[in-house]
Amino acid sequence: MERELIPDDVRAEIMRRLAAAEAEHNVRVLLAVESGSRAWGFASPNSDYDVRFIYAHPRDWYVAVDLEEKRDVIEYKIVDEIDINGWDIRKALRLFRKSNPAFVEWLQSPILYRSHGGFAEGASGLLPSVYSLESGIYHYRNMAKTTYRDHLQADAVRMKKYFYALRPLLCVRWLERYSTPAPIEFDKLLHLLEGEEELLGAIAVLLEKKKAAPEAGLSQPVPCLNRFIESELARLECPDIDHFQRGDVNAGLNQLFHSVLSEQP
């Protein structure tokens, strides 16, 4: 079930724009999802719709001497509340090989706009073997560290920035406990704070305020959240990481790439 209902008129406009992108660029959209705060489960009333998609060109487009010079993204200026852009499948799979956090989260988004062919199922099936736990821990740690340093030490802070620090820290806890990619929905991570009632209570209060406030809504600092963030960041300065040794991930990624191209005209 979708984490958050997308209004029918917004969904219809998103589908129209995806179809327009296909026609304009002669591509086929393989996967289109919602990313960002609406997928994470803590959107504000005026949050943008962050639509991300993976697309493929016809097969012969990839058989070219100048393939590396060809544009591999489709981007549109934000003219309203819909932010939409996409990656070519080859770019997406090359980044997947590096455990790119954006792509990994798109695969797990609870809000699906479009899925065509076997791409989404195939990529999701590869996720356990391709994803690097070590890369994930360092990514989430650095995200939380940067957010805390730049946004959460003032007299008044943007509420959403607390969740931009809390969510990645809980994702690290998930990786440490389960050794699998963390889900992107914030509420699926909260059990990792079981027994820490003061924290859970403060998060619940702030989450309700955030959901009712504009995107730039401000709050006074929340001391217990700051203490938790500081403590986790200190702990993760020297994380105890068992290096995740992967096998030959290229074989599976190439197989998926060829499979998708076989579906193209």
Distance from C-alpha of 29 to C-alpha of 53, rounded to nearest angstrom:
7
* Structural domain that includes position 183: 133-235
16, part of any domain:
yes
Considering the domain architecture, whether residues 114 and 156 belong to the same structural domain is answered as no
Considering the domain architecture, whether residues 137 and 126 belong to the same structural domain is answered as no
261, part of any domain:
no
Considering the domain architecture, whether residues 147 and 105 belong to the same structural domain is answered as no
What tokens appear for 8 in the block? 């029918």
Here the CATH number for the domain that contains residue 32 is 3.30.460.10
Considering the domain architecture, whether residues 64 and 145 belong to the same structural domain is answered as no
Number of alpha carbons in the 13 Å side-chain half-sphere of residue 220: 4
Distance from C-alpha of 82 to C-alpha of 51, rounded to nearest angstrom:
7
Considering the domain architecture, whether residues 14 and 116 belong to the same structural domain is answered as yes
What tokens appear for 124 in the block? 């999701």
**Gyration radius from the chain CA atoms:** 20
pTM of the predicted structure, to 2 decimals: 0.92
* Tens place of pLDDT per residue across the chain (265 aa): 344 579 999 999 999 999 999 999 999 999 999 998 999 998 888 889 999 999 999 999 999 999 999 999 999 998 899 999 999 999 999 999 999 999 999 999 999 999 999 999 999 999 999 999 989 999 999 999 999 999 999 999 999 999 999 999 999 999 999 999 999 999 999 999 999 999 999 999 999 998 888 877 888 999 999 999 999 999 999 876 655 566 789 999 999 999 999 999 8
Considering the domain architecture, whether residues 125 and 150 belong to the same structural domain is answered as no
262, part of any domain:
no
